[in-house]
């Protein structure tokens, strides 16, 4: 069975007869699920079970629930979700090329994939392809509800099979795709039937093209392709070869230009000095080249120096239309050469990791109107004039901003909010969602004390059977997190625990650690701050920058990274962006399994111990 294929278009069809879905950039895949066999099959008939074991494992986990509905066949896309509307194709492509099982399993740990289902082809062995799309969708939705599978896409959800979101309003979905830098939109006729291995106008794909400015560099007459590059510092880096999109006259003009003004460097290859800029449409930049490039237009007015790596990053990830960036070249962190546009690009990239901790929390920001070297001020109260997409929560006389989406985050970034501080609870509860220990050494020169405290604290938490997470503070210290079940334990409960743990560490090593609140009395010891964990207090959010000289990031770590070589200065904006390309977010599973935390048992034991000591 080969998939039904889509027809490309430039305009989204409008009308009540259409429904709309996100176009994800992954591997199209048919899932054939028999009682004794499970097959993931690509559009070319390749079996993908070995390359995507997390999907197979998940299917095995729910086998008992689904047995009575088998055999069934699903149509969908294997994706590596970076947000709810975007998939990282390079992760999926890399997985598809892997052969060795140990390498595949390592990649699964770092970048687990999802299978996004958008059609239902067989149910209990009966073909559904002669039903209309609307009826197939209804049956799919009913099946997922019976199986307690997600009927909406969430990149944070560890359920590896999810049903795609369906929209009746294309404008609403297109805006979400634009804001999230998704690949595009798919329009489907509600009355369409599923016809395998056929390209049909009943299913239309409209891509969210990006336009990148490049410098023409070479022409290869043997295949008719032109080469384009951008400057990365002083070096020209080739990023594209193209010929699609050129009209016959343009193709002829360019070939004559290269042959008459260029330098012949091969049998049929000419090179041109950097002088002409063109605009290239593409869908993304993967590896070393633009994907699906096509000529868009000449740009004779553009200075070739503006065709550079930094501009390419912005053109590939444009800001949402709702964000009007002001003073993009304004220096923010001079020591790291970070300008305002660089900062907003950072926020775009980390938003999927940052927002889960900001969402539904009363936000306090520190704004630096003139960059990190200038004056700063705390801001809890929202400005009087704010965009309509900003969420406000009134608490007594303060109008707090609640940062629930990327547009709000970018707007705050444009206001030069450089630090984001959050309480330990959401707006839906007066009880903490996590415990956070703040490990505060006297200065960055004693950061080794924070490392030692974190490791000793982890040993204690491991003894209690509690899962813990760790991050740098972005300053001179570190913070250790314990996720808690939502709306379960009070701050009085957590104080019993935090005070015990801190006092235990101090008793073990009084020469290193202290709970003395007055700095002048700490005698160069690390301050274990359990008082800070209380209602109304805040902590810097994971992935928040800091307003210090280099703009260091409060960076989540894997526990095996907490060692003698760890230094706060390792985690600048550029290094964290590089880090996220090569390894998983250490806080990715922060809320997973939280209900199984043994905190209630630990708390009971501590309260009994305290009660005995007071008798």
Instruction: Tell me which residues are annotated as active site.
Output: 23
Q: How many CB atoms lie within 10 A of CB 368?
A: 21
Cis peptide before 71 (omega within 30 of 0): yes
Pairing of strands 38-42, 469-472: unpaired
Look at residues 335, 305, 320, 238 and name the one whose alpha carbon lies nearest to residue 569: 335
Look at residues 132, 133, 127, 95 and name the one whose alpha carbon lies nearest to residue 111: 95
**Which residues neighbour 388 within 8 Å (Cβ) at sequence distance 6 or greater?**
none
Angle at 300 (CA atoms; ends 295, 302), nearest 5 degrees: 100
Instruction: Supply φ then ψ for residue 553, to 5 degrees.
Output: -105, 140
Partner residues linked to 367 by β-bridges: 377, 417
Q: Give dist(CA 55, CA 420) in Å, integer.
A: 36
SS (H, E, C) 389-415: CCEEEEECCEEEEECCCHHHHHHHHHC
- Give the distance from CA 439 to its chain's centroid: 28
Q: Is 507 exposed, middle or buried (0-12, 13-18, 19+ CB in 10 A)?
A: exposed
SS (H, E, C) 74-104: EEEEEECEEECCEECHHHHHHHHHCCCHHHH
Q: How many CB atoms lie within 10 A of CB 265?
A: 9
Q: Give dist(CA 85, CA 26) in Å, integer.
A: 12
Q: Which residue has the tokens 């965009």?
A: 387
Q: Give dist(CA 464, CA 206) in Å, integer.
A: 53
**Which residues neighbour 44 within 8 Å (Cβ) at sequence distance 6 or greater?**
none
Are 369 and 375 spatial neighbours (Cβ–Cβ below 8 Å)?
A: yes
Q: Give dist(CA 101, CA 51) in Å, integer.
A: 8
């Amino acid at each position: 069975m080969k998939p039904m294929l889509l027809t490309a278009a430039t305009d989204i069809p409008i009308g009540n007869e259409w429904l709309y879905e996100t176009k994800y950039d992954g591997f199209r895949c048919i899932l054939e699920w028999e009682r004794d066999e499970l097959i993931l099959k690509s559009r070319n008939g390749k079996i993908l079970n070995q390359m995507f074991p997390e999907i197979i494992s998940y299917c095995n986990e729910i086998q008992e629930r689904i047995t009575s509905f088998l055999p069934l066949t699903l149509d969908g896309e294997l994706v590596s979700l970076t947000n709810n509307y975007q998939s990282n194709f390079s992760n999926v492509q890399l997985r598809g090329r892997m052969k060795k099982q140990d390498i595949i399993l390592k990649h699964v740990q770092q970048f687990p994939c999802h299978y996004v289902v958008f059609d239902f082809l067989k149910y209990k062995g009966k073909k559904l392809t002669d039903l209309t799309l609307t009826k197939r969708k209804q049956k799919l939705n009913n099946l997922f509800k019976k199986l307690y599978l997600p009927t909406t896409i969430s990149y944070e959800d560890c359920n590896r099979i999810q049903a795609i979101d369906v929209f009746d309003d294309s404008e609403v979905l297109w805006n979400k795709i634009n804001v999230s830098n998704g690949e595009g939109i798919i329009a489907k006729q509600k009355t369409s039937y599923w016809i395998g291995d056929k390209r049909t106008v009943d299913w239309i794909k409209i891509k969210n093209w990006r336009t990148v400015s490049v410098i023409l560099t070479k022409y290869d007459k043997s295949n008719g392709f032109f080469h384009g590059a951008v400057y990365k510092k002083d070096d020209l880096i080739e990023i594209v070869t193209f010929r699609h999109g050129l009209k016959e006259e343009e193709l002829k003009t360019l070939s004559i230009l290269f042959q008459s003004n260029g330098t012949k460097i091969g049998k049929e290859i000419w090179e041109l000095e950097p002088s002409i800029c063109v605009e290239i449409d593409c869908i993304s930049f993967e590896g070393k080249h633009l994907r699906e490039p096509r000529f868009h237009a000449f740009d004779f007015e553009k200075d070739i120096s503006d065709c550079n790596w930094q501009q390419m990053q912005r053109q590939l990830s444009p800001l949402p239309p709702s964000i009007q960036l002001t003073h993009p070249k304004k220096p923010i962190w001079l020591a790291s050469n970070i300008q305002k546009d660089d900062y907003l690009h950072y926020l775009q990239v980390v938003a999927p990791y940052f927002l889960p901790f900001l969402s539904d929390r009363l936000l306090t920001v520190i704004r630096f109107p003139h960059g990190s070297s200038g004056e700063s001020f705390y801001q809890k109260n929202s400005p009087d004039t704010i965009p309509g997409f900003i969420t406000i929560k009134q608490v007594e006389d303060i109008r707090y901003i609640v940062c629930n989406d990327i547009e709000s985050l970018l707007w705050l970034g444009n206001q030069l909010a450089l630090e984001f501080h959050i309480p330990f609870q959401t707006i839906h509860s007066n009880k903490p969602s996590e415990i956070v220990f703040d490990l505060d050494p006297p200065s960055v020169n004693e950061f080794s004390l924070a490392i030692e405290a974190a490791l000793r604290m982890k040993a204690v938490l491991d003894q209690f059977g509690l899962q813990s997470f760790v991050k740098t503070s972005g300053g001179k210290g570190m913070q250790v997190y314990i996720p808690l079940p939502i709306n379960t334990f009070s701050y009085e409960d957590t104080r019993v625990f935090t005070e015990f743990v801190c006092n235990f560490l101090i008793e073990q090593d009084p020469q290193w650690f202290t709970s003395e609140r007055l700095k002048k009395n700490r005698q160069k010891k690390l301050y274990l701050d359990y008082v800070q964990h209380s209602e109304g207090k805040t902590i810097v959010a994971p992935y928040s920058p800091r307003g210090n000289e280099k703009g260091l990031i409060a960076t989540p770590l894997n526990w095996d990274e907490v060692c003698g070589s760890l230094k706060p200065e390792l985690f600048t904006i550029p290094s964290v962006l590089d880090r996220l390309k090569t390894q998983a977010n250490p806080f990715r599973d922060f809320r997973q399994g939280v209900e199984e935390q043994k905190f209630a048992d630990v708390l009971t034991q501590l309260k009994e111990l305290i009660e005995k000591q007071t008798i």
